[in-house]
Amino acid sequence: MEYFDSNPRPKQLDEHSEGAQAFIDQHAREHRRVALVTSGGTTVPLENQTVRFIDNFSAGTRGATSAEYFLEAGYAVIFLHRQFSLLPYSRHYSHTTNCFLDYMTHDERGAVVIDAEYRQQMADVLAQYTKAKRENTLLILPFTSVNEYLWYLRDLAILMQPLAANGLFYLAAAVSDFFVPADRMVEHKIQSSEEFNTKRQLSNGDDDNSNENLPAAHMEGKKLVIDLDPVPKFLKQLVDAWAPRSMIISFKLETDPSILSEKCQSALKKYAHHLVIGNLLRTRKHEVLMVSARSGEKWLRVPTDRRTKSVTGLTGNGAEPVPAADPIEIESLIIPEIKTLHSEVIAKGDPR
């Protein structure tokens, strides 16, 4: 893929690949299934020494929650996530309305203890977290930009090849469709001051008055103009070249319900992988559409009285219903479906 010849390899990738290799070897020896879960949004830096960037919507809830259910289902998980987005297990205590200190209190002797109200739930989460650490079934790797994401995905997919059908890709990250390629990126912070910026663009050799040599993000008068290139469709590469024997699951995010099914069908046809999970921005926490060649279309829905919260996304109307006392997470319905499909793929061969 030409992309990797012209966009830089992340500095920490070699070190992280070494750790991933050891992790994969261990689980291959133990005949355990390994899921690569991608999670969170990817950034598109506008400058090489990055002050400004474009971001993609995602808190990392889908990925972090799914990783826990994969672990519960007996998988080892490589969790490739956007740095500082939600993580498996700690997600229960971060990015919530409660600060983590709100879960604690003092006992009668003044020692810090967990508040009785949260003690049982925290003990359960701690037990799962400790088990994952003890058995070394969770490997956490970070990315920030879309470039880092693509490099990590390719390297990890190649490392996972020996797992063959026991490898699974669950692509829940929100990946940018557009980016600034390395050869069109400015080194330093773009200057908003018109006078200073003209001088700098000219001193960079952009003195031929044509737009051709201008960086992808540049000032034109008082305006910042951003001219992005398309990110190559890596899903095709993943399916055909990087992970041809593994199970591949992609997500499709839409905001218009009337096109969701068609977009999922079209992705399945185009990439010929195993499963597309369609979700809508507003309802993604309580319903998803599973589309596969083997089973056709199937909606998974959390019953109304067992939902965690309504999803308002970025454009929500703020009308939050009271959360259910005993809520069901949609991922607890998704992962068992996937496990069954994965077992069929392993037993009967590839249905692609």
Nearer to ligand PMT, 190 or 260 (CB): 260
Nearest-angstrom CA–CA distance, 67 and 87: 9
Rounded to 10 degrees, what is the CA torsion of 172, 178, 181, 184? -150
- DSSP alpha helix (H) spans, the chain: 3-6, 13-29, 61-72, 116-134, 146-160, 194-203, 234-237, 260-271, 331-348
Q: How far is 12 from 285, CA to CA, in rounded Å?
A: 33
Sites of contact with ligand PMT (CB under 6 A): 58-62, 171-172, 174-175, 177, 231, 233-235, 250-253, 279, 284
Q: Which is nearer to ligand PMT, 20 or 150 (CB)?
A: 150
Shortest Cβ 40–ligand PMT spacing (Å): 6
Based on CB atoms, which residue is closest to ligand PMT, 87 or 231?
231
Residue type, 286: H
Minimum CB–partner distance for residue 236 and ligand PMT (Å): 7
In the complex, minimum distance from the CB of residue 149 to ligand PMT, in angstroms, rounded to a whole number: 9
The smaller minimum CB distance to ligand PMT, of residues 23 and 149, is found at 149
Amino acid at 196: F
- Rank residues 189 and 263 by Cβ distance to ligand PMT and give the closer one: 263
Nearer to ligand PMT, 218 or 342 (CB): 342
Shortest CB 53 distance to ligand PMT, Å: 17
C-beta of 253: minimal distance to ligand PMT in Å? 4
Least gap, CB of 107 to ligand PMT (angstroms)? 36
How does DSSP classify residue 142?
A: E
Residue closer to ligand PMT by CB (options 275, 345) is 275
Match 């009337």 to its residue by tokens: 258
Q: Which is nearer to ligand PMT, 155 or 201 (CB)?
A: 155
User: How near is the Cβ of 167 to ligand PMT at its closest, in Å?
Assistant: 17
The pairs formed by 286-292 with CB atoms below 8 angstroms and a separation of 24 or more are: 286/311, 286/330, 287/330, 288/330, 288/334, 289/260, 289/261, 289/264, 290/334, 290/337, 291/261, 291/264, 291/265, 292/268, 292/341, 292/351
Calpha distance 298→104 (Å, rounded)? 42
> Residue 13 Cβ, how far from ligand PMT at the closest point, in Å?
19
Measure the CA angle with vertex 266, ends 67 and 175; round to 5°. 45
CA distances from 56 to 43, 51, 238, 263 (A): 6, 16, 21, 19
Rounded to whole angstroms, the Cα distance separating 186 from 214 reads 9
Is the CB of 189 or the CB of 232 nearer to ligand PMT?
232
Closest approach of ligand PMT to the CB of residue 7, in Å? 13
Instruction: Give the chain's largest Cα–Cα span.
Output: 76
